[in-house]
Amino acid sequence: MAGHYVPIKDQPYLEMYSWEEIDLPYWRNWFHENWPKGALLGAAYVSFIVVGQRVMKNREPFDLRRLLALWNFGMALFSAFAFCRVFPELLYLLRQPDGLYKAACVL
């Protein structure tokens, strides 16, 4: 890794919520130590998909229209909130010298 990302603490363009402040070294260390759990969960997920397809092959499909409509509504709300949080930072970065490079290539 070329360098570590250092989050801007006092952005002039956006107020940071308390739950948005994270301890990056702690989480990097946690993911480094617990990567086998992620690999195991990924393998379990793929196994669940394969087994689920075989189990449901000759069964009638579930009616999930209401559940999927609720899911899509929640995703739309989340996407709108994420856009409102990310767009000001992207605009700020793009207005800086080498902003596009820093926004896309530098972490």
Within a domain: 51: yes
pLDDT grade for 1, boundaries at 50, 70 and 90? very low
CA distance 88 to 95: 11
**Greater pLDDT, 94 or 54:** 54
Mean pLDDT across the chain:
86
pLDDT above 90 coverage of the chain, percent: 51
Q: In the prediction, which pLDDT does 9 show?
A: 63
pLDDT grade for 107, boundaries at 50, 70 and 90? low
CA distance 107 to 28: 14
Q: In the prediction, which pLDDT does 5 show?
A: 58
Number of domains in the chain: 1
* Residue 80 lies in domain: 18-105
Question: For 11-42, how does the pLDDT look when each residue is reduced to its tens digit (9 = 90+)?
Answer: 777 777 788 778 888 988 999 999 999 999 99
Within a domain: 35: yes
Within a domain: 48: yes
Within a domain: 1: no
The mean pLDDT of 73-99, rounded to a whole number, is 89
Does the pTM surpass 0.75? The reply is no
Q: In what helix (H) or strand (E) does residue 40 lie, and over which residues does it extend?
A: helix 35-56
